[in-house]
Amino acid sequence: MILDEIIERTKKRVEKLPVTFPEPDSFRHASLEAAIRSAQKKNPVIAEIKCASPSGGVIRRNVDMAMMAGVLADGGCVGISVLTEPYFFGGSGTDIARVKEAVSVPVLRKDFVIDMRQIAETKALGADAVLLIAAVLKDRLPVFVDAVYDAGLEPLVETHNAGEIELALATKTQMIGINNRDLSTMTIDRSTTRNLSEKVRSAGRLVISESGMRSADDIRELRPYCDAFLIGSSIMADKRPDKKLEEFVCA
């Protein structure tokens, strides 16, 4: 399974991390949760800078991170997600700093977090929020959520099924992502958001629908079931990322 391969490579990457990290210079925290909750009229979209993926291969080559971040921020996104996993997604931790310096919107670090050092690393890189995957952390999820808040960051907990929703709701996280992509098969089913969102919303948490949004029709289909959307491939693969983002934001 591709997730197992990614985690194995992540373990080797984490082994090389130092025990401590320096505090970021002049850190400007921006709240992703607040940005989503305060969005009015237009659809809250977290635009993801993703250069490659295991399912799609290379999505966009030679991306200028600062320039792309500016384009997406100007396009009306409420936040920018930066994929920092290097082997399967073509990312780098240094991409966070380039994006953060270029925009004022919240920046989410999206990676495969399996070690507490990655949380300290995330803060040192300058991100505002960090993705935690319930399928990866399992019973360790509550401890990692608390550690993210203790670091002054915000967790976005990613889920894929009802059991993971229960796990996420047992933590303090205010943002729960529902990934429409099955990580074991890499297939997409947008009904995942429709089927799982009610329990999250009834608990007062934010639902962020992830993966599978290709057009304005997809946004309109899922809008009644979620509070925000995390969209990467469709935007990054388009010749005009700004126009594609605008399509989603204004759907």
Residue 113 banded pLDDT, cuts 50, 70, 90: very high
Please tell me whether the overall predicted TM-score, pTM, comes out greater than 0.85 for this model.
yes
Kindly report the number of other CB atoms within 10 A of residue 124's CB atom.
20
Residue 27 inside a domain? The answer is no
Lowest mean pLDDT among 17-31, 43-57, 99-113, 191-205: 17-31
Answer whether residue 201 is part of any domain: yes
Tokens coding 146: 């608390």
For the chain, the first-to-last Cα distance in angstroms comes to: 35
In a domain, 178, yes or no: yes
Q: Considering the domain boundaries, does residue 87 fall inside one?
A: yes
Residue 88: its H or E element: helix 86-89
Residue 14 within a domain: no
What is the CATH classification number for the domain harbouring 225? 3.20.20.70
* Number of domains within the chain: 1
Least confident of 31-35, 158-162, 179-183, 219-223: 179-183
Q: Is residue 103 part of a domain?
A: yes
Kindly state whether residue 125 falls inside one of the protein's structural domains. yes
Mean pLDDT on 147-175: 97
Nearest to 43 by CA among 219, 174, 202, 231: 219
Tens of pLDDT, residues 225-244: 999 999 999 999 999 999 99
Q: From residue 231, how far is each of 80, 154, 241 by CA, in Å?
A: 10, 19, 11
pLDDT number for residue 27: 67
Q: Strand, helix or coil at 63?
A: coil
- The confidence score (pLDDT) of residue 188 equals 87
3-state secondary structure of 198: helix
Residues catalogued as catalytic: 48, 50, 110, 158, 179, 210-211
Predicted confidence band at 23 (pLDDT cuts at 50, 70, 90)? Answer: confident
Q: Tell me the two tokens of residue 53.
A: 């993926």
pLDDT of residue 235: 95
Is 219 among the domain residues? yes
Residue percentage of the chain with pLDDT more than 90: 82
Range of the domain at 47: 40-249
